[in-house]
Amino acid sequence: MRRFADAIGSYAIAAFAAVALLSLAFVVFFIVREALPLFSTVSLSDFLLGTRWMPVDFGNGTSFGIFNFIVATIAVSFLALAFALLVGVGTAVFLASAESHLIRSFAYPFVDLLAGVPSVVYGFVGLLVVARLFMKAGVTSGLCVLGAAIVLAIMLLPFLISACSDSLLSERNRYLTAAQTLGVSRWSAMATIVLPAATRNILLSLVLAMGRAMGETMAVMMVIGNANVFPTLLGKAETIPAVIALEMGTAVAGSDHYHALFAAGMVLMLLLLAINLLVAYLRSRLAGGSALAARIGGHGGKNAGVVVRVWATASVVITFAAIVFLFGYVFSQGASTISWEMLTQPPRGMVLGEEDGIAPAIAGSLAFTVCAVVMGGIPAIACALFVTFFVNSNRAAGAIRLAVQCMAGIPSIILGLFAYSFLVRDMGWGRCVLSASVALAVMVIPFIEVRAEKAFSELPKALVEASYALGCSRLHAIRTIVLPACQGELVRGTILGACYALGATAPLLFTGGVAFAGMPSSLMEPAMALPLHLYLLVHKGQRRSTPLSALPS
Amino acid sequence: MKKYLVAVLALALLVVALVGCGSSASSASSSAADSGSSSSAAASSEASASASAEASAASESASAASSAASESASAAAQDGEFKSSIMFCGSTSLYPIISSLAASFTEEYDTWDKVDASMPDKHISIYVAPGGSGVGVSAAVDGTADFGMLARDIKDEEKQKLGADYQEFIVARDALTVSVNANNPIAESMDNMDKETIKKIFSGEYTTWDQVDSSLPKENINVYIRDLSGGAYEVFQKSIMGDVEISGNATQSASMTELATNIAGDQWGIGYAGFGAYNKANADGKKLVAMKVDGVEANEENILNGSYIIQRPVMFVTGKPITASEQAFIDYIFSQTGYETVESNGYIPAFTPKA
């Protein structure tokens, strides 16, 4: 009997893990299938190198050239990554080198706060603060590539910092004490030993951040200006995710415009894949940070130490200033309008939104999030279990990890696109919470899976092996030892995933989010959502900020 | 490893069954049928049942779904199934008005039987999704919304796609003003622009203000437009630009209000702010100045009698026969409350309110 239950359990885990991986395959397959028909009317070179994008025929014919969009996407992402790398690695170095654990235990959650802020809020603050600064500096309307890069850089900071911190901390623990014993000062040691040793992992975190940067839709769209021109630093530009978000709803199903948008999404995904592979290749070349360490370590330890110290301190100051400013600004603007009424009443007023009420939006957001986490969390944890305990060959495990990494790189707008075309249209589900939740679930799966896998791999192997030796079946061991031991980490990962889903706007635009609805009553009806509500209010021009960031995190 | 291959295969089969299920049920199926088939499919994934059991379960639910679908289709035709939810989708100009009316309608009546005693005691659910006029038409055509909201004239092909039951309801009229910032010196020297000048400014032929009028300084002209999914884009293209394309340097805005705000914030800006957005922007002090177009001023009279050329209807359309509940809400839209709501949002009502 026990054997039977165990077998069912094992199948269940395998099945859910397969769901997670198949969803990636499904999304990719679907996007490619909808994109390919374009190339029967437009040639590949015209599409990739053309600069005229006129999808609707106003008398001069249609034209689909996405060159400017590709360049803009790459330009903004790289610029933002450069900024984020500079400030993020510096902050991570500072925090890793700090002597007291107290600073770290306070600082890391503080930085994680940034990760919980929805992208719409970033776009909103970007519009109000960054764009205004640029306007004062002379840029028309303040919307430009540089502004978008700055906003995007701040969005990337928490990812880079937490990803780098792990490796920097472990290298520090390994080398710092020994170095100090030999007379090397703390900062010199950080500069010449710890930092070079962690280079390889810093590159890896670069890849993760890259996916996030190139796929970011909302924040960039609100600050970049959206004009189909070749991007210049202080000029406007339009990124591929922005084109898709702005034009998806208009495209008639089956038309060239429709296929062109999918093709643009496909190009974006291919770009991401190419960059992923490039960085993986570079990483394998840099095998072992020691070679690099030896090279850098040779040049003047003391000076390097001073430079790194100044850089790290400045970075930390910038990071914390950004966090404090962001939260302070939103809270100070919104605090005056929060009232119990606002949180519990539906929106009303002749001009909607002028009188308070965001209760349906709160309820709707919760509905989306819970559905997404249930539908995404279970396959994610199952996938992590599968990779850690069921897979025997390293190559298979590596392949699964690569698949999950690719999933993390799919831009959220493309998931929204997939859900719209497949679930809303083809399957006939219509705009509803379920359609949107599937898109959100796919978005959340890699997020939770990576954290779950980390938790499982940190469990002492001896524990599990001892249980096998004592006659426990694999599933029994998982159920009674692994899961309870890791439950803290799993819960934390799920909550972070929930926050991520809570703040997502792009997937909701065409799938389940509406401008007005009553309290959500069923999964097959659409609902309001907080980030969407904020986005719509900003676009209506109402500057009254909603206390959005009070709710997640 | 073999066990897991079986599991994966079973799952793939399940997915195929799901897709097959969905496509057979997608034609005019009720939401109950959909959630029924998807939940039974999800449940069967957990069991370690053999592939044949899954397939038979899937085909069972498929036949159940298709019979339910045909049932609901005939039921809807016979008006047996009451429709307690209405879905509007489309124009960013109209959705605030419809949203606000939906909110007050729902608050006032709460359940359909309070609206009309012959209707059942079900909660009123009205959904309003934005996206732009183009989105509105697509949604009405492929049935993902009951009504598509448009802020432009409907095209003939679109009317045809909507079918024989096509109906349109014009709520308001909106005009596109050619507005400049109040601090632009042009506001003092000129109050009229002819069509040719406007064309040249928006196409990018004139790049600096001194080319428009030599008394103006040599500052860049910053053009603000709506994005492609907006009805305004097409209206402007048809009534002013004709065959000439708008400059690629123009800044796209996702809504009229954003457009107006952009011009208000930019001394050298010019754009086609909607009449409502224009009035709203000037509510606390003159921020935008509208140019006369070919000598005709943009005011209520000229818009209603058609002499101001850049204007558009703000309306919603449908291709399906209207149910009783939808008619009740439509009556509410065209009532005195609706009239006042349209006005407060800055548009010119295109109807006289019913008693």
Set of chain B residues whose Cβ sits within 8 Å of the Cβ of A54: 245
Put simply, the chain A residues between 17 and 36 with a CB less than 8 A from any chain B CB are 18-19, 22, 26
For residue A46, pLDDT beyond 60: yes
What b-and-e string marks burial along B264-280, b requiring 16 or more CB atoms within 10 Å of the CB?
bbbebbbbbbbbbbbbb
Distances, alpha carbon A426 to alpha carbons A51, A188, B143, B187, in Å = 32, 61, 11, 52
Are A1-37+358-547 and A64-336 the same fold in CATH?
Answer: yes
Strand positions, DSSP E, A21-150 = 53-54, 63-64
Joined tokens for residue A522: 């069923």
- Distance from the B251 Cα atom to the nearest Cα atom in chain A, whole angstroms: 5
Lowest mean pLDDT among A131-145, A149-163, A480-494, B308-322: A131-145
**Among candidates B46, B134, B144 on the partner chain, residue whose Cβ is nearest the Cβ of A12:** B46
Confidence of residue A308 (pLDDT cuts 50, 70, 90): confident
Are B85-170+320-349 and B178-309 the same fold in CATH?
Answer: yes
- Distance from the A53 Cα atom to the nearest Cα atom in chain B, whole angstroms: 9
Set of chain B residues whose Cβ sits within 8 Å of the Cβ of A69: none
Which secondary-structure segment (H or E) carries A246?
helix A240-247
CATH classification (class only), B178-309: alpha beta
DSSP state of B78: T
Tens digit of each residue's pLDDT (9 = 90 or more) over B171-197:
988 888 888 988 888 888 888 888 888
For residue B6, pLDDT beyond 50: yes
CATH number, span A64-336? 1.10.3720.10
Partners of B348 in the β-ladder: B173
Whether the pTM exceeds 0.90: the reply is no
Cβ atoms of residues B288 and B181 within 8 Å: yes
Which of A133, A234, A427 to mutate: most B Cβ within 10 Å?
A427
Put simply, the chain A residues between 425 and 454 with a CB less than 8 A from any chain B CB are 425-432, 434
- pLDDT (average), residues B161-168: 86
Nearest to A26 by CA among A389, A391, A427: A427
Put simply, the chain A residues between 189 and 248 with a CB less than 8 A from any chain B CB are 225-229, 236, 238, 246-247
Predicted complex ipTM: 0.73
Contacts with A151 (C-beta within 8 Å, 6 or more apart), sequence order: A122, A123, A125, A126, A130, A219, A220, A223
For residue B12, pLDDT beyond 70: no
Fold of B85-170+320-349: D-Maltodextrin-Binding Protein; domain 2 (3.40.190)
- Distance from the A44 Cα atom to the nearest Cα atom in chain B, whole angstroms: 22
Q: Which residue of A has its CA nearest to B266?
A: A141
**Confidence (pLDDT) at B317:** 92
Query: Is B252 close to A15, i.e. CB distance below 8 A?
Result: no
**Among candidates B8, B89, B245 on the partner chain, residue whose Cβ is nearest the Cβ of A18:** B8
For residue A120, pLDDT beyond 50: yes
For residue B31, pLDDT beyond 60: no
Which of A64, A129, A141 to mutate: most B Cβ within 10 Å?
A141
Confidence of residue A58 (pLDDT cuts 50, 70, 90): low
Q: Which residue has the higher pLDDT, A520 or A488?
A: A488
Q: Which CATH architecture has domain A1-37+358-547?
A: Orthogonal Bundle (1.10)
Query: Is B128 close to A515, i.e. CB distance below 8 A?
Result: yes
Query: Is B11 close to A18, i.e. CB distance below 8 A?
Result: yes
Nearest to A91 by CA among A325, A315, A324: A315
Cβ atoms of residues B317 and B140 within 8 Å: yes
Residue written as token pair 């998982």: A478
Set of chain A residues whose Cβ sits within 8 Å of the Cβ of B31: 430, 432, 522, 524-525
Domain chopping of chain A, boundaries: 1-37+358-547, 64-336
Lowest mean pLDDT among A301-305, B166-170, B200-204: A301-305
Q: Which residue of A has its CA nearest to B138?
A: A252
DSSP state of B29: -
Domain chopping of chain B, boundaries: 2-77, 85-170+320-349, 178-309
